[in-house]
Amino acid sequence: MKTLFILNDAPYGSERTYNGLRMAGHLSKQEGNAVKVFLIGDGVSSAHRNQKVPQGFYNIEVMLGSVTRHGGVVGICGTCMDARGMGDGDIAEGMHRSTLTELGEWTTWADKVLVF
């Protein structure tokens, strides 16, 4: 199954991004599944490199890294990055600056689209 996750919320504060990535991570580990994650709006902050969180607290950068290590792809809305002062050097390893055009292509590609 091909699943696209669209994450809109900031990495911390609510648990929407956390829960979306829990599911994306789970699906990416299963044989036969393909996962893509698109970060948009405040969700782009999830891809910021070198996140430091309190001991025992989940780390969204690590969770995204798990998705990419298991063959998933992570795209980050470039317009949203610009609006938040994020440059390409701020992006964690294994993720890329993306566009709404690519999001449209991914939406067509996917069997399921989940929005968090």
Q: What is the pLDDT of residues 37-66, one digit of tens each?
A: 999 999 999 999 999 999 999 999 999 999
CATH number of 2-115: 3.40.1260.10
**Stated pTM of the model:** 0.96
In 53-112, which ranges are continuous DSSP H helix?
60-69, 78-83, 100-109
pLDDT class of 89 with cuts at 50, 70, 90? very high
Strands 95-98 and 73-77: parallel
